[in-house]
Amino acid sequence: MSRLGLMRAVRTLLAVALALPLGACVTQQVSGPVGSSSEAAVYNVQLGAAYLEQGNLPLAKDKLDRALKENPSDPNVHSVLALLYERLGDPKRADTEFRTALRLAPKNPEIANNYAGYLCRTNHVDEGVRRLLEAARDPLYRTPEVAYTNAGVCLRGAHRDADAERELKRALDIKPNFAEAAFQLGDLEFALGRAADARKRVDSYLGTYSATADLLLLGVRASRALGDRLAAERYARRLRLDFPDSAQTRALTANPG
CATH classification at residue 78: 1.25.40.10
DSSP alpha helices (H): ranges in the chain?
Answer: 3-17, 37-54, 57-70, 75-87, 91-104, 109-121, 125-137, 144-157, 161-174, 179-191, 195-206, 213-225, 229-242, 247-254
What does the alpha-carbon distance between residue 49 and residue 77 come to, in Å, rounded to a whole number?
A: 9
Collect all residues with Cβ–Cβ distance below 8 Å to 229 and sequence separation of at least 6.
223
- Please report how the helices 229-242 and 213-225 are oriented relative to each other, as an axis angle in degrees rounded to 10: 160
Instruction: Please write the tens of the pLDDT for every residue from 93-140.
Output: 999 999 999 999 998 888 888 899 899 989 999 999 999 998 899 888
Residue 213 near residue 183 (C-beta atoms within 8 A):
no
Identify the domain containing residue 123 by its residue range. 3-254
Instruction: Please write the tens of the pLDDT for every residue from 203-229.
Output: 999 999 999 999 999 999 999 999 999
What is the pLDDT confidence band of residue 178, given thresholds at 50, 70 and 90?
A: very high
pLDDT of residue 114: 86
Higher-pLDDT residue of 169 and 23 is 169
Mean pLDDT, to the nearest integer, of 8-24? 39
DSSP state of 143: -
* Phi, psi (degrees; rounded to nearest 5) at 23: -90, -5
CB atoms within 10 A of CB 1: 17
Number of domains in the chain: 1
Question: What is the pTM (predicted TM-score) of this model?
Answer: 0.78
Check whether 165 has a pLDDT greater than 80: yes
Which candidate, 159, 179, 207, places its Cα nearest to that of 168? 179
Check whether 201 has a pLDDT greater than 60: yes
Mean pLDDT, the chain, integer: 87
